[in-house]
Amino acid sequence: MTYLPPHFAETDTATLHALVRAHPLATWVVQHQGELLVNHIPMLLDPDRGEHGTLVGHVARANPVWQALAAGAQSVAVFAGPQAYVSPNWYPSKHAHGKAVPTWNYATVHAHGVPQAFDDTERVLDVVTRLTRTHEASQALPWHVSDAPADYITQMLKAIVGVEMPVQRWIGKWKVSQNRPASDQHGIAAGLSGQSTPAAAEMAALVQQKIKP
């Protein structure tokens, strides 16, 4: 379960998908025999496959998590987006009455589902190729799977197993100061903008998007 006050809930599908694409490294948690198996893997989203989309990725064959999936384990993939510390000094209300404390803002998406493993060579190669194409797209000279010798790629594919998870439900939590008065929201956005870091700038933009009219 996720603690999710209604004012922090984000339900817009396009917004959730955008965060997953922008921050694709998932903290993937699988329940197995009374334990929680935790891995960190980049995942691709196939938005049109399944009722709520499907996440795909791969793990090392030596990683026991893929064998645990045969039991139909419940799991959640957590995608962490922008996050930033918020100083109470940025609240105009703090300067009026002093009743303010620090907090932390963040945006995150949880994808729940029952994952499956596969080791069909063509399917695994497709996942590797798509991951590569996606994350090499910004390079001046993108690397392609075909750049490596074919026998080397064949050897590498034997060392990994594909995973996919049809998403059963999405949970989005945008804790971006919606619980503050509009004047404080403006102060937080200005304070974050003054930090001169990409993470603070991203959070400032999210706060601005949620400022009360």
| Strand, helix or coil for residue 118 | strand
Say which DSSP state 159 is in: T
CB atoms closer than 10 angstroms to residue 52? 16
Domain boundaries, the chain: 6-81+106-176
Render each residue's pLDDT in the chain as its tens digit; 213 residues: 789 999 999 999 999 999 999 999 999 999 998 899 999 999 999 999 999 999 999 999 999 999 999 889 899 999 999 999 999 999 988 777 877 899 999 999 999 999 999 999 999 999 999 999 999 999 999 999 999 999 999 999 999 999 999 999 999 999 999 999 999 999 999 999 999 899 999 999 999 999 988
The architecture (CATH level 2) of 6-81+106-176 comes to: Roll (2.30)
Token digits of residue 103: 């907090």
For β-strands 35-42 and 25-32, DSSP reports them as antiparallel
pTM: 0.94
